[in-house]
């Protein structure tokens, strides 16, 4: 803005005059900062390089196995209540597929394989409970409650154990669909 002029006109005479304006302090500072080789200009260029050229790495070190990924997917649909179709969503596949490729996984993780794993785990848990209750007396109570599109199922069981009673409660909360 150095060397600019301002124009003023008088209404009475309609005569216009020009006079040079003084550059402001901001303009002077900016002009001095832009001088070649100034530290401010170099600093500004370094900051811009950091902003516009992100540092990226093509290699990431992970400590995970295919079973760990499968167990995580099972947890997402059971404990976290997400739908099975999440496993086949394109965004989720963009995360999982490169990891599975790096692990040389022979069997893909899909919604169907996760459903199979959930059934397998449920059958295993049923068998474990059946074996622990075999030839024993027990009481089982199942409760259900729903509010604001949420469903809560709870089971309470108790069984005699060396003249004492052991009771525990398990529950599951999920969305009504």
The pLDDT of residue 123: 93
Residue 47 lies inside a defined structural domain of this protein? no
pLDDT band at residue 127, thresholds of 50, 70 and 90? very high
Same domain, 131 and 88: yes
Residue 71 lies inside a defined structural domain of this protein? yes
pLDDT of 56 > 50? The answer is yes
pLDDT band at residue 131, thresholds of 50, 70 and 90? confident
Residue 92 lies inside a defined structural domain of this protein? yes
Same domain, 87 and 152: no
- pLDDT tens per residue, range 168-177: 555 555 554 4
Same domain, 128 and 69: yes
pLDDT of 117 > 90? The answer is yes
Paired tokens of 142: 């199942």
Q: How far is CA 69 from CA 47, 92, 109, in A?
A: 39, 12, 9
pLDDT of 74 > 90? The answer is yes
R_g of the chain, CA atoms, integer Å: 36
Total tally of structural domains belonging to the chain:
2
Residue 143 lies inside a defined structural domain of this protein? yes
Same domain, 94 and 126: yes
The answer, as to whether pTM is greater than 0.75, is no
Same domain, 148 and 129: no
Same domain, 124 and 141: no
């Amino acid at each position: 803005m150095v060397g600019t002029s301002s124009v003023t006109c008088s209404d009475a005479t309609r005569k216009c005059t020009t006079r040079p304006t003084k550059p402001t302090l901001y303009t002077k500072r900016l002009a001095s900062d832009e001088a070649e080789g100034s530290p401010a200009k170099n600093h500004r260029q370094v900051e811009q390089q950091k902003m516009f050229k992100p540092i990226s790495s093509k290699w990431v070190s992970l400590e995970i196995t295919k079973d760990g990924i499968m167990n995580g997917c099972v947890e997402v649909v059971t404990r976290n209540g997400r739908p099975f179709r999440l496993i086949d969503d394109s965004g989720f596949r963009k995360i999982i597929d490169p990891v599975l490729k790096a692990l040389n996984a022979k069997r893909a993780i899909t919604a169907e394989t996760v459903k199979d794993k959930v059934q397998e785990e449920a059958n295993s848990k049923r068998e474990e409970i059946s074996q622990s209750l075999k030839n024993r007396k027990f009481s089982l109570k199942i409760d259900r409650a729903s509010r604001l599109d949420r469903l809560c199922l709870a089971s309470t069981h108790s069984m005699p154990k060396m003249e004492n009673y052991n009771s525990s409660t398990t529950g599951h909360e999920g969305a009504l669909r």
